Amino acid sequence: MTRLLRNLPLSVRVPALVAGLMILVGVVASQQVLAVLGRVQEERLREIARLQVEGLAVALGPAVLREDVWEVYDTLDRASLAADGRRLVLTVVADGQGRVLAASDPRRAPVGRPIGPLAEGAQALEEVGLAAGLAEIRVLSSLEYQGRVVGQVLTELDVTDLAAERSRLVRMLLAGNAVLTALFALGGYWTVRRMMRPLRVLARHMDMTEGRPTAIPLDPRHDPEVARLFRTYNDMAGAVEARSEAERRFAERERYASLGRLSSSLAHEINNPLGGLLATADTLQAFADRPEVVQDGAALIERGLRHLRDVAKATLEQHRLDPEGAPLGADDLEDLRLLFSPEARRLEQALEWRVEARGDTLARLPAAPVRQIALNLLLNGSRAAGSGGTVGLDVEEGPGELRVVVRDSGPGLPDSALRRLLTSDPGGPGGGLGLRTVRDLAAALGARIDHARAAGRTEIRVRFPIPEVAAC
Amino acid sequence: MQHRDRLALLGAPVWQGQPLYQSYLIVAPDDAAAGLADLENGIHAFSDPDSNSGWLVTAADLRAIGRRPEEFFARTIFCWGHRNVVRAVAGGLVRSGSVDGYVWEALAEIEPDLTARTRVLARSEWLGFPPFVVRADRMDEPGIRAFRDALLGMETTEAGRAALALLRLDSIGPAQPSLYNGILSRMQALNASP
């Protein structure tokens, strides 16, 4: 029940609680009213019974004393005719020995019979109460005349009208409470819906956000607290936007930083063939008349220039990071190798490179973010492995996924770096954005990142889900 | 009858053509009793200890079978009026009652609901209707004579007829002491030694 209530929306739960409270209040109020009514009715009954007994005592005292059956009966008979005949069902007068002298209905209480059986269940005059479900109650009282008890009076009172009044009141209370409860529940629902409109606006804006929260237009009619809430939300939306912008800028900067780090290696990579090319050019100039030298020199120059062209192309491709761009291919991984190899060579690191994925599998993922992820992890691994270390890249297919695994023989990632890579916790100061960029790009592609450390090696495994291709 | 030696008759009411009436023994309509003897140990209502129809007739009948009201009945009460006897029987206060037959018949016309709750169990012989009497020594007073003339001529005037109609009587007729011999004999029977 509690779980069911908890699962209900707030706009239903609160009115339901209001309705429940109303029912509770209604029940308590009804109980109070019925209790008061019961007391009033009992008081009324006591008064009727008291007046009856006192009146009879005055009228019948001498007759009871003389045991004058006719006089007692005549008085009771006239009294019952004079009364409205509804309340007093039966009046029995007994003598001092408890024998019936006369009754308003002698057939029910014959003369001379003991009053005891008739008085069974009778209440004392001072303690008359209305028992539930009883149509008649009996009251037994002593009959006093001139200060002494001369007999007894048993009065049977019809209380059906009181019971009917009570049940009518119960029905009225139930109907009234039901109507009021329904009205208050509806009122509560409407009020709470109104009160919660700002929250719905807030929730709608948050649903519409999709990574870019939009500000809620402020209305001067808004409640001050709601206005403050909206302002806080707008401030937060602005802060998120600013943060996203900053992250975009940082990511961009990181990309340039990566390239910057690569640039020295690339310069070296370009410089080496350039030296060879220049030497070849000198050779060609010196031995221009020797065709075999010229041919060899030209071939050498061509290989060098092709290499330079590939390096330039890889650099340009890496620079042009476009998430919506071309699909991933084997050549992208080859470019990556081309870009990273000089850095590995510079640090005299062993590079283990293994790509075992089919082209159509690779093509289901975008090239730019995967390349960026792999490059950042490789650069990070290379830096950790240090001079003479080992860095490796495995690209392999799994069921429904493509795994890119980067290994290094470094001392392992510090906690702050792991947090940046594996969680959305804010990174520590000065940590750089390379690993955070990996995490953000992976998250955008729905990829999972695992970290393992075994046999002196750190292994970062990024598992990209392969989107299903609809069968033609 | 107790003071007949000092009283003189002015006249007797004529009811249903004769100056006679009966004493009725009444019970509830559903009472199974077939006669006075079946009412033993019940509660009985008399009208008045000085009444002929409301006491004497029943007491004399009991005397005739060697019984007395106070021991034959479980209890006897006096209701001080023939209508009250009918009320006592009709209301169930008593099992049986001794009542003036003329009163019961008049009530049957005026209050049929009341008499309908009773049944006439036994009727006595016809007895002299209770008369108008005066002290014998004042019989010749002019006022008394005028009163007697007015009584005996009631049916001749409008007011007299209205009064007679109200009383359900035909007229007031002259009466002779012999009319009450029946009552006298019952009194004698009652007072006779067992």
DSSP-assigned letters across all residues of B118-169: -EEEEE---EEPPPEEEEGGGTTSHHHHHHHHHHHTGGGSHHHHHHHHHTT-
What distance in Å separates the CA atoms of residue A79 and residue B133, rounded to the nearest whole number? 37
In chain B, the residue whose alpha carbon lies closest to the alpha carbon of A70 is: B79
The residue count for chain B: 194
Inter-chain Cβ pairs, chain A and chain B, closer than 8 A:
37
Choose among A70, A107, A111: nearest Cβ to B78: A70
Assess A69–B contact: CB distance below 8 Å, yes or no: yes
pLDDT beyond 60 at B69 = yes
* Segment 98-157 of chain A within 8 Å of chain B by CB: 102, 105-107, 110-112
Chain A CB contacts of B43 below 8 Å: 69, 111-112
Which distant-in-sequence residues (6+ apart) come within 8 Å of A99 by Cβ? Answer: A112, A113, A114, A115
Sequence letter at residue B155: E
- A114 CA: distance to closest CA in chain B (Å): 15
Pairing of strands B96-100, B43-46: parallel
Q: Where are the domains of chain A?
A: 2-183, 321-472
Look up the ipTM and state it.
0.88
Contact check, Cβ <8 Å, B92/A74: no
- Tokens 């005026």 correspond to what residue? B110
In chain B, the residue whose alpha carbon lies closest to the alpha carbon of A107 is: B92
What distance in Å separates the CA atoms of residue A391 and residue A407, rounded to the nearest whole number? 6
Choose among A70, A106, A112: nearest Cβ to B84: A70
What distance in Å separates the CA atoms of residue A353 and residue A394, rounded to the nearest whole number? 6
Choose the mutation target among A73, A80, A104, A113 for the interface with B, i.e. most B CBs under 10 Å. A73
Contact check, Cβ <8 Å, A106/B84: no
Choose among B80, B84, B93: nearest Cβ to A111: B93
In chain A, the residue whose alpha carbon lies closest to the alpha carbon of B93 is: A106
Chain A CB contacts of B79 below 8 Å: 70, 74
Contact check, Cβ <8 Å, B78/A106: no
Structural domains present in chain B: 7-18+128-180 (no CATH), 23-124 (3.40.190.10)
Q: What letter does residue B56 receive in the DSSP assignment?
A: I
What distance in Å separates the CA atoms of residue B15 and residue B172, rounded to the nearest whole number? 9
CB count within 10 Å of CB B26 equals: 26
In chain B, the residue whose alpha carbon lies closest to the alpha carbon of A108 is: B92
SS3 A460: strand
Closest CA to A334 of A354, A361, A309: A354
Sequence letter at residue B51: S
Residue A472 pLDDT = 39
Assess B91–A contact: CB distance below 8 Å, yes or no: yes
Chain B CB contacts of A112 below 8 Å: 43, 74-75
Contact check, Cβ <8 Å, B43/A111: yes
Contact check, Cβ <8 Å, B75/A69: yes
Read off φ and ψ for residue B18, nearest 5 degrees. Answer: -150, 155
Widest CA span in chain B: 55
Choose among B74, B77, B92: nearest Cβ to A70: B77
Choose the mutation target among B31, B93, B113 for the interface with A, i.e. most A CBs under 10 Å. B93
Handedness of CA B96, B100, B102, B108 (dihedral sign): negative
Domain A321-472: top CATH class: alpha beta
Residue A470 pLDDT = 47
- In a structure prediction context, what are the per-residue pLDDT tens digits for chain A, which is 472 residues long? 667 767 777 667 776 777 777 778 777 877 888 788 778 878 887 887 788 777 777 888 888 988 899 999 998 888 877 665 567 788 899 998 999 999 989 999 999 999 989 888 888 877 777 776 677 888 888 888 888 888 988 988 887 887 787 788 878 877 887 788 778 778 877 887 777 777 777 777 777 766 667 788 877 777 788 888 888 888 888 887 887 777 777 767 766 666 666 666 667 667 767 777 887 888 888 888 888 888 888 888 888 788 777 777 777 666 665 555 678 888 888 888 887 887 888 888 999 999 998 888 888 888 888 888 888 888 888 888 888 999 999 999 988 899 999 999 989 888 888 887 888 765 555 455 578 778 888 888 889 999 998 888 999 999 999 877 644 3
- Tokens 């200890």 correspond to what residue? B49
Chain B CB contacts of A73 below 8 Å: 88, 91, 93
Contact check, Cβ <8 Å, B92/A112: no
Chain A CB contacts of B92 below 8 Å: 105-107, 110
Average pLDDT on B90-105 reads 96
What distance in Å separates the CA atoms of residue A304 and residue B133, rounded to the nearest whole number? 175
Homologous superfamily (CATH) of A2-183 is: PAS domain (3.30.450.20)
Contact check, Cβ <8 Å, A70/B93: yes
Chain A CB contacts of B74 below 8 Å: 112
SS3 A130: coil
* CA terminus-to-terminus distance, chain A: 50
Chain A CB contacts of B75 below 8 Å: 69, 111-112
Residue A166 pLDDT = 76
Q: Within its chain, how far is the Cα of A46 from the centroid?
A: 60
What distance in Å separates the CA atoms of residue A190 and residue A208, rounded to the nearest whole number? 26
What distance in Å separates the CA atoms of residue A186 and residue A207, rounded to the nearest whole number? 28
SS3 A450: strand
Are residues B126 and B20 in contact, defined by beta-carbon separation less than 8 angstroms?
Answer: yes
The residue count for chain A: 472
Chain B CB contacts of A90 below 8 Å: none
Contact check, Cβ <8 Å, A106/B92: yes
Assess B47–A contact: CB distance below 8 Å, yes or no: no
